[in-house]
Amino acid sequence: MSTPPAPTVEKLSFRRFTDGDSKWDSWREQIFQASYSHKCPTYIQSTPPCQGSCPSGEDIRGYLNIVRGIEKPAAGMNWQEYAWRRLTDANPFPSVMGRVCPAPCETGCNRNEVEDHVGINSVEHFLGEYAIANKLGFSAASVATGKKVAVIGGGPAGLSCAYQLARIGHEVTVFDEHEHLGGMMRYGIPGFRTPREVLDAEIQRIVDMGVKTRLKCRIGTDITLEAIRSEFDAVFLGMGAQSGRPLPAPGGDAPNVVTATAFLRAFNDGRLRHVGRHVVVIGGGDTSIDVATVARRLGHIGHAKPTDFPELAIGGHLAHDAAVVSAKQGAEVTLTSVFNVNQMQANKHEIEQAQAEGIAIRGGLAPVCVVKDADGRGVALRVAQCEAKFVGGKLEIKVIEGTEEDIPADLIVSAIGQAVDFTGLEEFDNGRGAVSADKNYQVGGKPGIFAGGDVLRPHLLTTAIGHGAIAADGIDRFLRGEDQGKRPKIDVHAFDLKRKMIERGLSFSEAHEPMHGTDRSNVAIHNYDDRSERYVIPHDELYLGHFGFTPRLRRKVITLTQETALGNFGERIEPLSEADVVAEAKRCMSCGMCFECDNCVVYCPQLAVVRVPKKEATMGRYVYTDYDRCIGCHICKDVCPTGYIQMGLGE
């Protein structure tokens, strides 16, 4: 009997040609025409997918290349400050966002095709901490424009907009109904995730630029919108969506059924110090995880009197007495979602941390009603198994009959979404509980009125920061009397070769576009083109074989247990050391931008690819091609790890 052949095991390979290829598709006819080549190297700057995935539009590749030592700082500045300033061109809250951002940039990272993404959040966290420790600040504009802008709402969108406008030179006043600035960063996220001293430091930098504030001032109550329009040249609406959506189920009006935003605000204000023995949270997003973990830490007190009920503190009627807190015991917290646990929108890491703390997370359950006692308080949440899916962008929930059960509850928290409070600003309500704006975030039919953040669509903090920055650009154009124009297809901050040449003291001819050279021009780099506004480079444009397996350096995360969570409000995440941050940044593949590996120089058979003389070289201007030698063999493109070299016209 013959022995069957052993199964073939295919090893991971990044070869351009596969085994069995026997025919060479010659490009000779296309390459050689008379005495010159039509396919020679061009140098193309593209957007890496990390930046394309970042709602704030950070120049992630840029500051990673600074941290790793490839791009050199401007004169008189160390790399830490230079990287921080590159980062904060887009996002003035790196220390906060390095802690709480779910990092869509890391999901998009091309390094995932090799082993694991680059720890972008870790680098951001380190740079933010460095800036606070070394008291780095932002510089106000040297010349004032004389224009005044009102920013309504001191959350991430409003503060981002104020920051960008102050950099330009406009006079900005931020109006906020709360006692402190920060919006959802302060009142919607617990302090053990965003330490208040960190948040305060990053907000104070913006105020120190000359941004004025009017706190505990509500539009429509303390000042009219008409008064603001008469005093200011433009207005930004960034008041957020800080009203929670009530539970849409019978019995949802019980006094101990509260919204997530009200719960977190009461906790962050210091009014809420304990909860009931049984807490049920309905949601599935990051906010519901925050509520559940806070409830787990707060615990409950035995033999609670009616004056100790948590809903009284949440409603603002009576703050909890701190004297009884020492007698707290652990609370049993259950989080339910209509989606299965692996389909929940919350960050996977946060879900795992919550489960480790003893929080029961149950997916595939829909609320049916609140079971009340004789006094009208909820004593249980009745749920049923369900199937949930989106059809045409709308959520459809099918309840499975006969699967109902009651989950005991002393406090029920609805974390199913947020709503905008339009009191005093009713004219901006589009009828769907939001504000409508164009791609420049200008409100339709309202010249000089712009909006951003959760008033457009509740989303991530980093999304609100991006909205504020883009709106600031639109406001500046409006104040200058310019047309809004069309936003780039890929709206991110990107490496600026012109700025780099100026930093190095290099000159270029103003008669040429400095970002687009030719083979005979020294204005930038010959046949250089910046396509960052329109092209995100995928992993298959890179030479992945250049990159060896390098494990990601992870930050230390303190994982609590059911026993240690009670009363533990310490920070759970620690920044990387400086050495580890540099090592982690070196894992970046610099997609779409030269990182000076010398492959093209080493492997060119014609010696046509040459380093730019050191006195003329900058980041992105490291090599050039001698087209008198180049034969268009495309080897340089094949061995370029970053996809920076493309084959194009060499004339």
Q: Do domains 148-241+420-480 and 244-416 have the same CATH topology?
A: yes
Pairing of the two strands 300-301 and 278-282: unpaired
Q: Is 171 helix (H, G, I), strand (E, B) or coil?
A: strand
Contact by Cβ (8 Å): 507, 500: no
Q: Say which residue, 51 or 511, is predicted with more confidence.
A: 51
pLDDT greater than 50 at residue 36: no
**Nearest-5° angle of CA 646, CA 648, CA 651?**
135
Distances (CA, A) of 638 to 41, 594, 604, 608, 642: 11, 14, 11, 15, 10
- What pLDDT, on a 0 to 100 scale, did the predictor assign at position 470? 97
Burial group, residue 425, by CB count within 10 angstroms (0-12, 13-18, 19+): middle
Determine the Cα–Cα distance for residues 202 and 623; give it in Å rounded to an integer.
39
Please provide the DSSP assignment of 438-450 as one string. -TT-BBTT-TTEE
pLDDT greater than 90 at residue 101: yes
Contact by Cβ (8 Å): 454, 464: yes
- What pLDDT, on a 0 to 100 scale, did the predictor assign at position 13? 46
Burial group, residue 507, by CB count within 10 angstroms (0-12, 13-18, 19+): exposed
- What pLDDT, on a 0 to 100 scale, did the predictor assign at position 520? 55
pTM (whole model) above 0.75:
yes
Tell me: the pLDDT tens digits for 137-188? 999 898 999 999 999 999 999 999 999 999 999 999 999 999 999 999 999 9
Burial group, residue 153, by CB count within 10 angstroms (0-12, 13-18, 19+): buried
CA 257 to chain centre: 32
DSSP 3: P
pLDDT greater than 80 at residue 32: no
Average pLDDT along the chain: 89
Residue 521, token pair as written in the block: 């021009």
Tell me: the pLDDT tens digits for 404-456? 999 999 999 999 988 998 988 999 999 999 999 999 999 999 999 999 999 99
CA 78 to chain centre: 26
- What are residue 360's DSSP bridge partners? 334
CB atoms within 10 A of CB 423: 11
Residue type, 466: G
| Fold type of domain 244-416 | FAD/NAD(P)-binding domain (3.50.50)
Band (pLDDT 50/70/90 cuts) for residue 512 is very low
Band (pLDDT 50/70/90 cuts) for residue 593 is very high
Tell me: the pLDDT tens digits for 448-503? 999 999 999 989 999 999 999 999 999 999 999 999 989 999 999 999 888 888 88
Give me the residue label for tokens 């090599």. Answer: 623
Pairing of the two strands 278-282 and 411-414: parallel
Q: Say which residue, 27 or 372, is predicted with more confidence.
A: 372
Q: What is the CA radius of gyration of the chain?
A: 28
Among 66, 114, 55, 127, smallest CA distance to 456 is for 55
Range in 280-294, 384-398, 459-473 the model is least confident about: 384-398
Distances (CA, A) of 84 to 25, 78, 137, 563, 585: 48, 10, 11, 39, 14
Determine the Cα–Cα distance for residues 405 and 649; give it in Å rounded to an integer.
69
Among 390, 395, 397, 342, smallest CA distance to 367 is for 397
Could you confirm whether domain 51-136+553-581 is CATH 3.40.50.450?
A: no
Band (pLDDT 50/70/90 cuts) for residue 528 is confident
**Domain segments of the chain: what residues?**
24-47+494-547+587-651, 51-136+553-581, 148-241+420-480, 244-416
- What pLDDT, on a 0 to 100 scale, did the predictor assign at position 302? 78
Q: Is 448 helix (H, G, I), strand (E, B) or coil?
A: coil
| Fold type of domain 148-241+420-480 | FAD/NAD(P)-binding domain (3.50.50)
Q: What is the mean pLDDT of residues 543-564?
A: 93
pLDDT greater than 90 at residue 507: no
Burial group, residue 609, by CB count within 10 angstroms (0-12, 13-18, 19+): buried
What percentage of residues in the chain have a pLDDT greater than 90? 72
Distances (CA, A) of 537 to 68, 589, 643, 646: 21, 12, 8, 12
Determine the Cα–Cα distance for residues 224 and 126; give it in Å rounded to an integer.
43
Between the two ends of the chain, the Cα-to-Cα distance in Å is 66
Among 70, 61, 11, 62, smallest CA distance to 595 is for 70
Tell me: the pLDDT tens digits for 617-628? 889 889 988 888
pLDDT greater than 50 at residue 1: no
Contact by Cβ (8 Å): 41, 650: yes
Q: What is the mean pLDDT of residues 292-308?
A: 86
Determine the Cα–Cα distance for residues 621 and 43; give it in Å rounded to an integer.
9
